[in-house]
Structure 1
Amino acid sequence: MESKEFLISKDYEGMRLDVFLSSRFEEKSRSYIQGLIKREDVKVNGKLKKSNYRLRHGDIVIFNIPEAVPLDIAGEDIPIEILYEDKDVIVVNKPQGMVVHPAPGNYNGTLVNALLNHCKDLSGINGVTRPGIVHRIDKDTSGILVVAKNDLAHNKLAEQLKNHSMTRIYIALLEGVLKDEEGTIDAPLGRHPVERIKMAVVPNGRNAVTHYRVLKRYPSNTLVECRLETGRTHQIRVHMAHIGHPLVGDPVYGYKKQKFRLKGQMLHAKKLGFIHPSTGEYMEFDTDLPEYFKKILENLEKQLKQ
């Protein structure tokens, strides 16, 4: 079992214990961290504390990271589009509607189930239900993901996510017409204070930065490219809604009345770049927009010509 020790500086005074550890280990979910705190794998000044403990300047936090758990999620014969694969990584193009990993309510039909049918050697760092999963995209967001096939690759990719050196570019269709050609949204994200299943811009949230630029304007919509500097849950969806331009088709943060028949938000992870964990070579992958996305844009193009 690996142990990490942290001396709390004034910068983190008052922060919740689970939030602090989540910020240190961005590849691990907050619920996973909370589970380890309940399991008594975390101590503050040698004593057990709850997830909501508020840190103090000078506290010493010791985090015992458990060994990887043997995988026991079943593989399923589900077609997946593999863009690249070697002994360390798999780069896939996830379709809209596919959940990335098993979770309550979605134990089958996920990307992880498909990957385990394709190959058995996936990183075990994130435990039984999330083997190889370094980063995630929402069920109804399509596009590129990199998956780790061993723990060394997982750690090196996670470090790139943590230091914001991984290239992640998305294409989104927004409601309304954006005036600015480009911009940056720097607004912290956290759980919505009332609707806990939603994320929101909150004063004490985690740092979140999205850069965007306009690709094309339509009569009532704007096509934009978004580059993630950070990768918080629902980041692009929340940030765009925050500036008054939610994603078309977004059932959570978007308009209640939708003019297109969509299964979810129009958001596609188009480009992904990272340094290969073994070779040190920078690799970048690009994908076409999915067909449903193209059809909506074709309809909008027709409106421009009318």
Structure 2
Amino acid sequence: MKIVENHIVPATINGIRLSDYAVGIFLTIPSKAGIKKALKKGLILVNNKRGVSGQFINESDQIELLEDETLIKKNIDLDLEVLWEDDYLAVIYKPAGLLVSGNKAKTVTNALPHNLQTSSLTDSVKPQPVHRLDFATSGLLLIGKTATSIRELGKLFENKIIQKNYTAVTIGAMQLQGTVNVAVDEKESISSFQVLKTIASEKYEYLNMVLLTPHTGRRHQLRKHCASIGNPILGDVEYGLEGKILKGKGLYLHASSLSFIHPYTREKLTIQKEIPTKFNRLFS
């Protein structure tokens, strides 16, 4: 088989399992699931021998990817707003109604090479999101541009060092601030909220502009937590109140800010993105 990509392990890397290290080093296979498939098919070579998922790689190892059309992802010519970028990472704006990743061609992941500059660093890889936003949620998405930065940014999320804030519109009478500690998928889940603005509504009784801060990272956590206290997010067809679900306008949930210490420059970064126009129209 033809070798389509080649990677030399830099001097800074030693004693990392191949299945972990290989995520992000190949332009055609940015995902962990894709790497697992490639290893299973024998498409990844380490020093000219078939790579094994659990083997450790070290400085100067040569990792090669063999050709297989079923694993190749296309790059999509889709313009995204880039709010911050350097050789290590980027922050982009994901519009509502766009998948971050998946089997469909039109995703943020497939559009990133068209929108971001190629890193000049030795472990440059195809840019890869390091966290998720729901299909219906708009807002900020953090992207890694090198193999090591993808891992380091992932660790920041795992250790809860990156602070994420969301803006949402919720339904019904609501306390001005509080904390929700309700398990999601049988795992501890904590979110805090602060009401920024409230107006009376004939249909919903009240509409609230709310700042939401997740302290854990469960799937649909903010949507489930708001619903659990009787204040579901406007437009949430999955967790909304029967008879009070706004359809056709999308979900009123927006990832409005990211704050963290840059893992390499040590710069304090706070990136913000204003809420979509549809939010303000409700409160004008």
TM over 0.5: yes
- The separation in 2 between residues aligned to 1:259 and 1:207, in whole angstroms, is 28
Corresponding residue SS for 2:113: helix
Correspondence 1:233-244 to 2 at 5 A = 233-244=219-230
The answer (yes or no) to whether the contact 1:88–1:277 under 8 Å persists in 2 is no
Report 1:40-79 matches (<5 A): 64=54, 72-79=72-79
Select the residue among 13, 16, 26 that pairs with 1:2: 16
Deviation of the 1:181 alpha carbon: 1.7
Counterpart mapping for 1:100-249 below 5 A: 100-103=100-103, 107-119=104-116, 121=118, 132-178=128-174, 180-190=175-185, 205-219=186-200, 220-249=206-235
Amino acid at match of 2:137: T
Letter in 2 for 1:102: G
Bigger CA radius of gyration = 2
Q: Equivalents in 2 of 1:184, 1:96: separation in Å? A: 26
Deviates more, 1:82-91 or 1:257-266: 257-266
Q: 1:230 to 1:110 in 2, by over 3 A?
A: same
CA distance in 1, matches of 2:242, 2:78: 33
Q: Is 1:81 aligned to residue 81 of structure 2?
A: yes
Contact 1:121–1:150, Cα closer than 8 Å, also in 2 = no
Question: CA–CA distance in 2 between the matches of 1:76 and 1:277?
Answer: 29
Which structure has more strand as a fraction of its residues? Answer: 2
Corresponding residue of 1:253: 239
Is the 8 Å Cα contact of residues 2 and 66 (structure 1) preserved in structure 2? yes
8 A Cα contact 1:74 1:116, kept in partner: no
Distance verdict in 2 for CA 1:250–1:259, change over 3 Å: closer
Residues 260 and 189 (structure 1 numbering): CA distance in 2 closer, same or farther, change over 3 Å? closer
C-alpha contact 1:134 1:157 (8 A) present in aligned 2? yes
Matched, 1:286 2:282: no
How much has 1:69 moved relative to structure 2? Answer: 9.5
| AA in 1 matched with 2:170 | L
The aligned counterpart of 1:21 is none
Structure 1 contact 77–114 (Cα < 8 Å) conserved: yes
Q: Separation in 2 of the partners of 1:141 and 1:65? A: 38
- Contact 1:140–1:263 (Cα < 8 Å) also in 2: no
Deviation per CA, 1:191-242, whole angstroms, max 9, x where unpaired?
A: xxxxxxxxxxxxxx22211011111122222221011111111110011111
Instruction: State the identity as a percent.
Output: 30
Shift of 1:72: 2.9
Normalised TM-score (structure 2): 0.70
Q: Does structure 2 conserve the Cα–Cα contact (< 8 Å) formed by 1:210 and 1:236? A: yes
* CA–CA separation in structure 2 for the residues paired with 1:142 and 1:116: 20
Question: Is the CA contact (8 Å cut-off) linking 2:254 and 2:275 kept in structure 1?
Answer: yes
Partner Cα separation in structure 2 for residue 259 and residue 117 of structure 1: 37
Q: 1:297 and 2:283 equivalent?
A: yes
Q: TM-score, normalised by structure 1?
A: 0.65
List gaps (5 residues or longer) in structure 1: 5-28, 40-62, 123-127, 191-204, 299-306
How many residue pairs get aligned? The number is 222
Tell me how far 1:259 sits from its aligned partner.
6.5
Q: CA deviation at 1:272?
A: 0.6
- Shift, 1:119, TM fit: 4.2
Q: How far 1:292 moved relative to its partner?
A: 2.1
Instruction: Give 4+ residue runs of structure 1 displaced > 4 Å after superposition.
Output: 65-71, 119-122, 258-261
C-alpha distance in 1, partners of 2:55/2:275? 39
Give CA deviations for 1:81-103 in whole Å, capped at 9, x if unaligned. 10011111110111111111123
Output the CA distance in 2 between the equivalents of 1:188 and 1:114: 35
Per the alignment, do residues 268 and 66 of structure 1 end up closer, same or farther by CA in structure 2, a change over 3 Å counting? farther
Sort the Cα spacing of 1:120 and 1:162 in 2 relative to 1 into closer, same or farther, 3 A: same
By how many angstroms is 1:73 displaced?
1.5
Q: Partner letter of residue 112 of structure 1? A: T
- Give the AA of the match of 1:2: I
